[in-house]
Structures are given as structure tokens and as C-alpha cells.
Amino acid sequence: IEPMSKPPVNKKAAGLAAMLALAVPLIAVWEGKENNPYVDLVGVLTVCYGETRGIENRIYSDAECEAMLTEAAGDFGGAVLERNPNLIDRPYQWAAATSLAYNVGKAGYSRSTAAKRFERGDWAGGCEAMTWWNKAGGRVVRGLVNRRQAEYRLCMSDL
């Protein structure tokens, strides 16, 4: 009898799962959850954990909010990985970058100094650059300062 060999693990799927396990709780804490749609600091209709895409004016269930967060985190994480494929083996940095992208948008992340530094393999420099995204409506917001510090701490893990 020959021993069974392990099936090959899809590197992207395994990396995505590890990243989501770190990113989803981080995003949830900083976004907070509101089941009723509201207008955020910069005038955008928002619901659940900061979701701004395809919002209907109705009350959302907790299960809908959880599903929306996981789907959105995967979507933003995919965009981060597309911009910085070298994050595939770096779940902490990928998760922190995903939280940033979730908050500032895919385009904002893509053109950020953090993304440029990650592209060069400057992990600590990328983590530092994430902290610069601390303004809303042109002014420094304490909640964003705190969120960026939490993202920075996660980002610096395992370096």
C-alpha cells in the first residue's frame, strides 16, 4: 500500500483564506456595523460594515452584513493582490493593505505610496506609508489615525 500524497494546495486560495481571517475582523472593528443605511462623513450612502456599493434604502440583517463584509473584503483583497502580487505569501501585510483599500478605495490604494513600496519589497516602508491616509474631507480624523495605527501594527507582524 502506497501512502496517500497530499493534494496540491492552491496557493492563492490558501493565501486568500489566511488574509481574510485577519482582514475581516479588523475591518469590522473599524467600520462598525449599522444595519440602517446612513450618509458617512464625506456624504456617501453607507450600510453594514462601511459598504457603499449598491445600497438599497432598507434595513439589512446581521447575516446580510456579514456576507457583504466577507465578499467585499475578498474583492478588495483581490484588487490589492492584483496590484501587489508579491503579497501572496504575506497575509499580515496583505490583510492590512486590504483594510486600507476597503477604506480608501481600490484606485486610492493602487496609486498609494504603500502599494509602490510593497511593489519594491519594502514591507516596513509600505506599512509606514499606510498611516498617511488619516484624513476625510481634507482634515485629520482621529478615528482614521487610530485605524491606520491598528493596520500598521498588523502590517508589521511577522516582518
Which residues have a catalytic role annotated? Answer: 31, 40
CA separation for the pair 102, 133 (Å, rounded): 12
Query: Quick one: which H or E segment has residue 4?
Result: none
CA separation for the pair 30, 134 (Å, rounded): 13
| Cα 34 to Cα 47, 132, 137, distances in angstroms | 6, 27, 21
Helix 142-155, helix 11-31: angle, nearest 10: 150
Q: Which residues of 130-149 are buried (b: 16+ CB within 10 A; e: fewer)?
A: bbebbeeeeeeeeebeebbe
